């Protein structure tokens, strides 16, 4: 439903908008070097008013709830019929607004997350990268359910997309985002992360939670899929360049450690191969080119300090 090559992708954040509070036009000065990080608790808001700023704020609360329920029902029935899904660390879910950063192995990942996450907080996905979700059958399908926070391919709507994200948090929702920003073939490996997960968590003042998905690189019928929820990483700093680099490295290491023991499964049947690539957009070169992409070793990803000192 939601998975495309760009699902959850958030490319490097524009310097000019880094330190501006979400949902306002006000600017802030960069954090002083050498000072301790400041607390950034979510502000008190009117949830009903905030709901009007959601991507589908044009429909009534009843319609949004009905569509969300329908999307969850489709995902749950489909994924639990196709896969054998196990959740590890489920007690870490349902703790309020957060950014869930997951590795991305295929188009079924968002559906699997929808099937296993609790009803509350309501889960949204950052992406896909589309100019207009109201064009094209698949895009209209995603837009109708209202589960996505889309953003423009030319990155000319950053403030709009982050305001939508803030509305998600202000209404008590949670955001799932692919740190890699693209589908990655190999289990047990992780491509470098984009800044998006750290940026959204720091700007929203919500925890950054690592999520590892195993078993979806091939859509094996009744295959075992495991979703592991890691310990939340609290945020309390302003989204300066230094803080973004630090939290991006921290969440990468958290997810990388969780997938470290995973291994690519053997080749699937012809039907399972067809089902796997049904909605996967591998980009230039197709699956063959994507197979050659490998992530860095943990030792090659240093964690810088999050603030000067």
> pLDDT-derived band of residue 11, with 50, 70 and 90 as boundaries?
very low
- Quote the CA–CA distance of 241 and 251 in Å, as a whole number: 16
Does 100 or 7 have the greater pLDDT score? 100
pTM: 0.85
* Beta-strand pair 84-88/224-229: parallel
Give 204-233 pLDDT, tens digit per residue.
999 999 999 999 999 999 999 999 999 999
What is the Cα–Cα distance from 127 to 106, expressed in whole angstroms? 14
Q: Which position has the token pair 């002083």?
A: 32
Q: In which band, very low, low, confident or very high, does the pLDDT at 163 lie, cut at 50, 70 and 90?
A: confident
Residue with more model confidence, 58 or 136: 58
- In contact, 198 and 248? CB cutoff 8 Å: yes
| pLDDT value of position 13 | 47
CATH of 46-288, one of 3.40.1130, 3.10.450, 1.10.3210, 3.60.21: 3.40.1130
| CA-based R_g, the chain, Å | 19
Other Cβ atoms less than 10 A from the Cβ of 141: the count is 13
Q: In whole angstroms, give the CA distance from residue 6 to residue 131.
A: 12
DSSP for 133-201 reads: TTSSHHHHHHHHHT-EEEE-TT---HHHHHHHHHHHHHTT-EEEEESSSS----TT--PPPPSHHHHHH
Whole-number Å distance between alpha carbons of 99 and 102? 10
Mean per-residue pLDDT, 163-168: 90
Which residue ranges make up each domain of the chain? 46-288
Residue 24, pLDDT score: 31
Tell me the pLDDT tens digit for each residue of 14-36.
444 444 444 332 322 233 333 33
Range 196-203 average pLDDT? 94
DSSP three-state, residue 82: helix
Q: pLDDT tens digit string along 80-119?
A: 999 999 999 999 998 899 999 999 999 999 999 999 999 9
- What pLDDT score was predicted for residue 306? 85
pLDDT value at 73 more than 90: yes
Tokens, residue 160: 């709009």
Beta bridge partners of 126: 149
Q: Is the peptide bond before 159 cis (omega within 30 degrees of 0)?
A: no
């Amino acid at each position: 439903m939601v998975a495309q090559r760009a699902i959850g992708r958030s490319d490097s954040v524009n310097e000019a908008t880094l330190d501006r509070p979400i949902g306002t036009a006000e600017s802030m000065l960069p954090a002083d070097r050498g000072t301790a990080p400041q607390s950034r608790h979510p502000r008190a808001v009117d949830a009903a008013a905030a709901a009007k700023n959601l991507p589908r704020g044009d429909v009534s609360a009843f319609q949004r709830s009905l569509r969300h329920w329908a999307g969850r029902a489709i995902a749950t029935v489909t994924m639990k019929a196709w896969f054998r899904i196990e959740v590890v660390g489920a007690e870490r879910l349902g703790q309020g607004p957060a950014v869930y950063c997951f590795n991305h192995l295929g188009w079924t990942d968002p559906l699997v997350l929808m099937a296993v996450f609790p009803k509350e907080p309501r889960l949204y996905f950052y992406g896909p990268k589309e100019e207009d979700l109201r064009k094209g059958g698949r895009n209209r399908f995603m837009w109708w359910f209202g589960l996505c926070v889309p953003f423009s391919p030319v990155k000319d709507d950053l403030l709009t997309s982050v305001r939508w994200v803030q509305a998600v948090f202000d209404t008590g929702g949670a955001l799932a985002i692919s740190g890699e920003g693209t589908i990655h073939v190999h289990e047990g490996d992780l491509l470098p992360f984009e800044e998006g997960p750290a940026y959204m968590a720091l700007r929203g003042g919500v925890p950054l939670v690592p999520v590892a998905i195993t078993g979806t690189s091939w859509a094996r019928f009744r295959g075992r899929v495991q979703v592991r929820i890691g310990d939340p990483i609290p945020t309390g700093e302003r989204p300066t360049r230094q803080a973004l680099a630090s939290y991006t490295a921290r969440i990468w290491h958290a997810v990388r450690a969780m997938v470290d023991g995973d291994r690519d499964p053997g080749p699937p049947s012809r039907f399972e191969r067809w089902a796997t690539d049904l909605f996967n957009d591998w980009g230039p070169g197709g699956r063959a080119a994507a197979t050659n992409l490998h992530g860095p070793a943990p030792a090659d990803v240093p964690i810088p300090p999050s603030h000067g000192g």
